[in-house]
Chain A
Amino acid sequence: DQQVKQNSPSLSVQEGRISILNCDYTNSMFDYFLWYKKYPAEGPTFLISISSIKDKNEDGRFTVFLNKSAKHLSLHIVPSQPGDSAVYFCAGGDNTDKLIFGTGTRLQVFP
């Protein structure tokens, strides 16, 4: 049972435009959600998190939206830059430090 799903394996966006990465979850017990950026053979880089009691969190170019009724969250990157090209993972966590990861979305930002 995949508790966290990223249904789009890839996304291509022009530089300067908005990138929207989506994530769905099934576990209602998640207390928080995190987004990571990852390059091959490296550890994930933490980008932004959101508590389940919030519906939005913003940090610079990154904004995460949470829709609990739809069990859906999204990461918005504005404006997108070529350096944002990477694989993005969303993850859900409960009251422990165990994270359940999605399968990732590969973002490519082209000039």
Chain B
Amino acid sequence: KAGVTQTPRYLIKTRGQQVTLSCSPISGHRSVSWYQQTPGQGLQFLFEYFSETQRNKGNFPGRFSGRQFSNSRSEMNVSTLELGDSALYLCASSSTSGGVYEQYFGPGTRLTVT
């Protein structure tokens, strides 16, 4: 079974621009979560989608948004980019099987804002 995939892997943008990142979860997984990793703040939760609905949201400004499609693929968008948005953006999909909860991450998208 293929893992979580994310595109693109690397991105360089300029302040003020916007960016869209894409994530395809593991086949059969309906929940997709997004995280931001920075050296100073560690791994922080952005938001989570299930069946095309945002179920949970972290403490990020409204410039960060996302959506999920009927095939469970998800996108996140960051508008009006700031230098501080430079980070590794990670997508994860999750499942519960036999009472065991597992959440798997993709390889991430490295965003650099100049």
Expressed in whole angstroms, the Cα–Cα distance for A36 and B101 within the complex equals: 13
| Complex: chain B residue closest to A59, CB-CB | B100
The closest CB in chain A to the CB of B94 belongs to: A97
Residues A97 and B100 in contact, CB atoms below 8 Å apart: no
Minimum CB distance partner of B95 in chain A: A97
Q: Is A99 an interface residue (CB 8 A)?
A: yes
If A43-B90, A49-B102 touch, whether A98 touches B108 (CB-CB below 8 Å) is no
B4 close to A43 (CB less than 8 A): yes
Expressed in whole angstroms, the Cα–Cα distance for A96 and B48 within the complex equals 9
If the complex has contacts A41-B88, A43-B106, A98-B58, are A49 and B101 also in contact, measured as CB distance less than 8 A? yes
- How far does the alpha carbon of A49 sit from the alpha carbon of B95 in the complex, in Å? 12
Given A89-B43, A104-B42, A99-B103 contact (CB < 8 Å): yes
Q: Is the CB of B45 within 8 A of A100?
A: yes
Is the CB of B56 closer than 8 A to any CB of chain A? yes
Cβ contacts under 8 Å, A98 to chain B:
33, 45, 48, 56, 58
